[in-house]
Structures are given as structure tokens and as C-alpha cells.
Amino acid sequence: MAKIFITGSADGLGQMAAKLLVEEGHKVVLHARNEKRAAEALAAVPGAEIAVSGDLSVIAETAEVAEKVNKLGPFDAVIHNAGVGYQEQRRINTKDGLPHVFAVNSLAPYILTCLIQRPKRLVYLSSGLHRDGDASLKDLLWKERPWSGFRAYADSKLHDVLIAFATARKWPGIFSNALEPGWVATKMGGAGAPDSLEEGPKTQVWLATSNDKAALVTGRYFYHQRERQFHPAAKDVDIQELFLKQCEEISGIAFLVFGLAGQMRNFKNDF
């Protein structure tokens, strides 16, 4: 039996993965953006342990989510599921001045990776559209480029693979992988999505819990429990390091330079 935290598990693939994990007898901690949604998440997934709340579009609230999770003790796996879609309009978070897509899809998993006590496994949800992402990493915050929800989403999904692979390289003692669930008929994917909704949550559950030899790997990219080709830039160490550096500059949180306790203390002093 494993203990797993899933971001963005009030609906969609996150909720579906949570239900599968509970059915398999695992301990599951849910997440939603506010307390109302957290209560709804718990009601929708009978058997889940608890739901923590926090808006992942806000740096301070994302750090608070990490703090809440750490108070629940060590986890076997964290599934970074939360995300907003490719039809998102230009929307700037007034608290931090960040585009909503970047804040939720890219920066939040970076912050949570830095601040949550290291689990045994990390799973990052990406998308096949990450192959269209901009590997130059120029203008991450869309201050100069004309806004494109599609491009912003594709960029963010490339960022998720960069985080997964950078973490795999830096933390060799854990399993850190990324996946694409397919274009499925969730609220984000739309009713006409062609891939199997039933298969959509299975790979992340498998990566988080399975003892199959194929799942006990790190720095890999999957689709339906099979390894799949990814954007070649995702394995480029210089690009990984550039992305981590930019996330540190934006958030004020370094990738475990001081260790977990130091990170939390440093963050609280800065904000």
C-alpha cells in the first residue's frame, strides 16, 4: 500500500486516478484550489484520506500547499496532475504578475518539487503537444510575444518534462518520469477528444505504484504504459538548468540548494 498526493484532483484525470488508487487500497491525499472544491473532491472520492486546498496560480499559496502536505508525513509518490488547457485566454495573476498557464502548469510543479519532502516517485503529466513547445525558453512570461493559448500550453507541457528529467538527473535515488495521458474527453480535452478516457489515468497510477520492471525507471516519457518519443530538448542539461534557474528567479525558491527546511525558511523570509 502506497501513500500518494495528487494535485488538481477535484475533477478530470486527477479525480479518476484518485479513484483507481483508492480502489487498489492505497492512501490518497487530494488537492483542490480552494476549500469548497476540496470538500467536493473528498465527496467525489470516497476512501480518500484528506484534501488540501491552495491556489497553484499563486506562489505563496503553492508553497502553503507544500507545507500542508509535509505535515501529513512522507509520501511514496506525488502525481503532478493539475493544469489548465490550451484554450486559456491571456490571464495575468494580479498577485504575482504571472500568466495563469505558466503559473499553474509550469511554476507550481517546480515549487512543489522543491518544497515537498522527497517522495520515492514523482509523476508529471505532460501532453503530446509538448513537442511543439519553445525550447529556447525565451519570454517565459509572455511579456513580448503576442499571446497564444495553444503555444503557452505547449510550452508549459515541455516545461513539465524538463522538470521531470532534471529531477531524475539530480535525484538518482528516486523515480521521476513524465507522461502524456492522451487527448481524452475531460473538461480540458473537450467532448470530441479521440483517445480512450478509461486509459487516461492508468499510466500515472502505474508509475506511482507499480513494481513492474518497466515502471521502475527514471527520466523516461510514457504514453499508455509504453515509452514514447519526446522533445529532444528535454534531455538537454543546459536547457534543464536554464529552466530551473528561471523558475528560481521568478519564485524565489531554489532547487534544494539549502535542503527542504532551509528552502521553506528562505521562502517565508522573502515573502
Instruction: Cite the active site residues.
Output: 153, 157
> Of 82-91, 118-127, 142-151, which range is least confident?
82-91
**Phi, psi at residue 26, to the nearest 5°?**
-85, 160
pLDDT of residue 268: 44
* pLDDT tens-digit readout, 60-70: 999 999 999 99
Q: How many CA atoms lie within 13 A of 133 on its CB side?
A: 29
Residue 257 is classified by DSSP as: S
Which residue segment(s) compose the domain that 226 sits in?
A: 3-270
Bridge partners (DSSP) listed for residue 87: none
**Are 77 and 119 a contacting pair, CB within 8 Å?**
yes
CA distance 50 to 39: 9
Q: How many CB atoms lie within 10 A of CB 100?
A: 17
- Length, in residues, of the chain: 271
Distances 111 to 56, 208, 255, 264 between C-alpha atoms, Å: 10, 20, 8, 11
CA distance 5 to 119: 10
CATH code assigned at 204: 3.40.50.720
pLDDT of residue 259: 44
Averaged pLDDT of the chain: 90
pTM of the model: 0.91
pLDDT of residue 200: 76
User: Angle at CA 56, nearest 5°, toward 165 and 118?
Assistant: 45
Q: What is the band of 93 on the pLDDT scale with cuts at 50, 70, 90? A: confident
User: 238, 218, 221, 239: which is closest to 229 by C-alpha?
Assistant: 221
Mean pLDDT value of segment 101-130: 97
Q: Please state the domain count of the chain.
A: 1
Share of the chain above pLDDT 90, in %: 82
pLDDT of residue 266: 45
**Are 114 and 152 a contacting pair, CB within 8 Å?**
no
